Amino acid sequence: MSITIHDLRRRESSYLPGSAACPGCGATIAFRIASRILGPNTVYVVPACCFSIIQSTYPRSAISAPILNFAFAAAAAAASGVQRAYKFLGKDVNVVVWAGDGGTVDIGIQALSGAAERGENIMYICYDNEAYMNTGIQRSGATPMKAITKTTPTGKQEMPKDMPMIVAAHRVPYVATASVGYPFDLANKLEKARKIKGFKYIHIFSPCPPGWDFPVEKTAEVGKLAVDTYFWPLYEIVEGKLRVTVKPRKKPLKEFIRMQRRFDSLKDEEIEEMEKLVMEKWNFLLHLEKSERVF
């Protein structure tokens, strides 16, 4: 049965008032939903990222759940140890890595890969704001091509890493993409992943108003347009079988691009080239959907 708004309202969130988040932060929207679904029996492992700041310092933390803050490179390794310690004590606890894209696709990728290969019984959630935002908006391996950051002032020239597919290649039980613009799709994927034993990975599109330069009240709209323009397809891979979970009527990519000043340098013909790449990936996913197994 799918999660509804009434289900979410009845569940307690671990996110309290008084956080240090920027207005309109997509990561906090994602955490509010995730903590309601995962419940109080959850321990979070957080590497260096925006959320290290958002949670605020002890004793004024804005998060009521237990958190282990850890080094940038080793969140998945630390979570593996925490889960095994609880198992040794005979306790069944959700152990969740809550990490940004820098700590996932760049600095933490080796620990993530190791935990996935070993089949550790943890959930790894990447809230992806597509750059190192809390240190001043430097490009990461998840920054999209042509996006302006402080280290790519004329626009990034490389394609971003396809982290969900990289994790799926480890043949883990569950991989999914999600967006804060489609909250119930995200909630249902968290609910499904919570019940699966083994390594689970969810990659959440998390718009960042100061980093992407759009009005703070537009976060959910940007997150939804990313999906509706096929810039950020929503899918899940369960035991190797891929399913596209949201198939909206296609909107022009230009509507998504022009909402953010990080793409200001793009000319119309360059957006048309990006549109072709977006459609190539969309059609590839639809092709994979027909396969018995992706990996």
Bridge partner residues of 203 (DSSP): 126, 177
Identify the pLDDT of residue 239: 97
List the pLDDT tens digit at each of the 295 positions of the chain. Answer: 789 889 888 999 999 998 999 999 999 999 999 999 999 999 999 999 999 999 988 888 999 999 999 999 999 999 999 999 999 999 999 999 999 999 999 999 999 999 999 999 999 999 999 999 999 999 999 999 999 999 999 999 999 999 999 999 999 999 999 999 999 999 999 999 999 999 999 999 999 999 999 999 999 999 999 999 999 999 999 999 999 999 999 999 999 999 999 999 999 999 999 999 999 999 999 999 999 999 9
Sign (positive/negative) of CA torsion 139, 102, 163, 250? negative
CA angle at residue 191 from 173 to 10, to 5 degrees?
Answer: 170
Query: What's the rounded Cα separation, in Å, for the pair 56 and 60?
Result: 6
- What element of type H or E holds 157? none
Q: Which residues contact 93 (CB under 8 A, 6 or more apart)?
A: 41, 42, 43, 83, 86
pLDDT value at residue 59: 85
* Pair 195, 153: CB distance under 8 Å: no
